[in-house]
Structure 1
Amino acid sequence: MNASHKKLPLTLFLSLLSTTSFATTGYFMHGYGVKAQGNAGTSIAQFQDALTIANNPAGLSWIGSRVDVGATVFSPDRSAQISGNQMPQGYPNANGSYDGNGRKYFVLPEVALNHQINDQVALGLAIYGNGGMNTGYKNNPFAAFGNSGTAGVDLTQVFISPAVSWKYAENQSVGIATNILYQRFEAKGITAFAGYSADGSNLSNRGKDSATGIGARIGWAGNFFDDRLTLGVNYSSKINADRFEKYQGLFAEQGDFDVPESYGIGVAVKVTPKLTLAADVQRINYSDVNAVGNRFDVAQLKQGHAFGTDQGPGFGWEDINVYKLGVSYQAHPKLTLRAGYSHNDQPIPSSEAFLNILALGVIQDHLSVGATYHIDQRQELSVAYTHALEDEVKGQISPAFGGGESKLKMSQDILGVSYGYKF
């Protein structure tokens, strides 16, 4: 590998640190790699480029030596509405519609490479965004409760993942990737809730803070019936990350914000030499991370479980299943077409709608299309477009905050472009 190839991942990683990712399956990406995005994320048993490291590292044994570089543009539309709120006499209520689009466009780069050492061993490296969340309210939804200024959160998660895959049989392989995590977070506009925190000075408006962690992703793949049937499974461990010290008064367990475990199974069937159907089922265990899964319960706040304590409030997200279906068609020797649909359970229950005004991860459905143009035997260009259908969650507000109802709403458009080169 020459020097320019060695510098590329580092350069892109530095770029990733200065950008904000945005995800739609809760706060995970709906698909890793532009080709997978064209299939609505279907990728556990369908290996199309070196970004398979982020999906199923066992797939490295089946793609040959290559490098893939891409970028995805996200354009989310997020908003919240509060109605029926009645604060005590003499205090303003929180009723109104709130635009959470403080920033409208997000660019997320990705890079991955694979080197086939021999017939059995492949080594790879990927740098990509695991996911994230962003809201920005110029008109603060919590102003009626004493807060001022803009409100919102900004979460970015980036992985550096070296990987190895071993083809231990003619038709089967296993792979493992080390997930080195860098994450960054900022919260604004909720300083007046300091009285509900164990450390009110580290609750809000503390600027950006970062944390790191390390975990693993393992996978298995098998090709059967003359490669007409491919099966795959993957598992990503929970990552116990460092604490966000500047926000130890916000997140449960003194600022601890881990990455939840996830796992899945996939199948790809080559119906004809030109047509492939693929399906994945994935599980994301958000509730295992207290900062995300703990419920926001006003009664518990009064019983000593304040923000920042071990059993303090989180966003109340529930574990979800994700179902993906993709189709690929070789329309021409130089042109591959893709489409896909995915659906996931709703991570935010109605009872948690009030606090999740800050974290609008309500999307459940994605429709995707994509294509790859093969420039020559070594080079290819891919594009994918996804529309995340608008979804909403409604829930009652605690009488302690004046009652009424909060409604969360979000949709998103996603455009990805990538270049692949085979060695």
Structure 2
Amino acid sequence: MSVLFRCTSTLAQGVNLPIRYLVVSSTFQAGQEISTRDFHNLIGRAGRAGYHTEGSVIFADTDVFDKRNNFHERWRWQRAMHLLDFTNTEDCASSLLDLISPFDFTELNVDAIQFIANPAGYRQSCIDVGNQNAIGISSLLDQMGYKEALIEAIESYFLSYLKDNPNAPQTFFDDLAQGTLAYFLSDYDQKQKLRAAFSFIASRVLSVPEDKRQFFGKSLLGLKNLFLIENWLDENWSEVAQAQSSNELLVICWPLLFQLNNNKMLLKIKPENVILDFTKLWISGSSYTDLRSYLDQSGAYYQAGSQRRNIKMDHVVDLADGALSFDSMLYVGAIADVAEGKGLDGDLLELLRSLQTRLKLGLSNSLEIWLYSQGYVDREVCKTLGSVLNGQGVNSDVFDYDILKTYHQVVSECISKFPSYFSG
């Protein structure tokens, strides 16, 4: 039996899955060119001893080969050849070294450690100096954004650790820095910078009151966004408390979610006002085809630099599965964590958790979500099966967990129309 798996390059590298064919749809990973080392990890999945003694790597973009002799387009072919050459493999490295590495920007005198000490203040001072001297600093701001993402990841880990280890010794963070791969790979100067970076980040985390660490540490966010969420909840508590459904909560929380979410696809779909209605359709269970039709009918477009491009299905999938199902779901979860820590009413907390799950799965009611949790991990299968069970009198919000046994024959007939995977 032949089985087709489609997954991200990151997942493919981490799963010990022997395959016959590796289909490479793009040599870009998260907006950046995939490294030669990562690519070789990928092709290591194809052709494994004991399974397939040979494996094939297929570049799905036909332009790679067809335009290999075109002066302006041959870069794709050259890039593919570069990736296939094992002599081009990069040295083993650590992303923590990117945190302390100097900024690649010569127009201003900028210091990475000073930025780590006070990201928001240092960024604003650079913006002010750039405006005063008519210096474009967009590339510098991009680099700061990357470093800040690393800072937030470290803050999140520190918060999580302190949540479970409130009596951790003061030396823990310095010992942690000295135990990293980055520290092992560093020279003396880099080692001192790494320890200083961890010290600055630890100081900010330790300044958080202990009672807040208990719910801050549950989320995967950094301090800046957590304090933003907390302040927003304080200012909008009465409005949040009046919400009667997860749909209402979505509308109330949307300005905050849009402010928190830096997903590139979310920011490139214009006009911005179509995204909220797109999200409403997503959590109501609309198909990807219907979602694309909505964007087309709304006059939406993809902003690529100065160009306006037509919406493609890839844009729809990235917006739904990335910006909403992952990023926005994560932020709603953080809102729920902070709200729970601040004593939000249990029913409202349940609505927030419901919104979080609906954003993650793109499903509209408790029955469909429950079916997903039972192993029917496909939106269309859950929607169809839910509709069939509704026809048998099953309520979408209140139902018996034995319904799959009770309506076994009906369920089997419904599932038989889908791939056999769902009948197992």
Provide TM-score, normalisation by structure 2.
0.22
Structure 1 or 2, whichever has the larger Rg, is: 2
Provide TM-score, normalisation by structure 1.
0.23
Higher helix proportion, which one? 2
